[in-house]
Amino acid sequence: MHVEKQTIPENTLNPLFHDPAPGPLTGTPDLSHHHEKHAIPIDILSDATSEVIKKYRLWFEVPAEVKALYLEKFGLNLEKYNGAGRWELPVPATYVLDRGGVVRAGEADPDYTVRMEPSEIVAAIRAISGAGG
């Protein structure tokens, strides 16, 4: 499950994670390890088999006509990133969970341009942590 890094100023989030509770997490089926190359400072769930995104139904198989377009027009082969035979993409999603693992805020949409606003994420974390506004 590849989730692009959202732009949230680090100094905004750090005070919200003042105790040993888990912090931001992202996931990716991408085998290329971009997160290591770019030193992304958050935990990465490596979902190389797409087991996690399938469990949460946050994926879709790329239709044959779109696969042909990706290969022929854009020269993009998802198998290079996802592994042999895997023409699937994650549904971009953001969830804010409380310490008990209950989803308190979130958004998932196949349209990669629809995302939770960083201010909504910060507000949800503050509400859970009791940090207020």
pLDDT tens, 53-88?
A: 888 888 889 999 999 999 999 999 988 887 778 898
| Residue 91 forms part of a structural domain | yes
Residue 6: other Cβ atoms inside 10 A = 14
pLDDT of amino acid 34: 53
pLDDT of amino acid 1: 39
More confident residue, 106 or 4: 106
CATH number of the domain to which 46 belongs: 3.40.30.10
| Residue 2 forms part of a structural domain | no
User: Total domain count for the chain?
Assistant: 1
Of 44, 23, 22, nearest to 34 by C-alpha is 44
pLDDT of amino acid 28: 63
| Residue 4 forms part of a structural domain | no
**Residue 93 is which amino acid?**
A
Q: Using one digit for the tens of pLDDT, what is the confidence trace for 41-52?
A: 666 667 777 888
Range(s) of the domain holding residue 41: 10-129
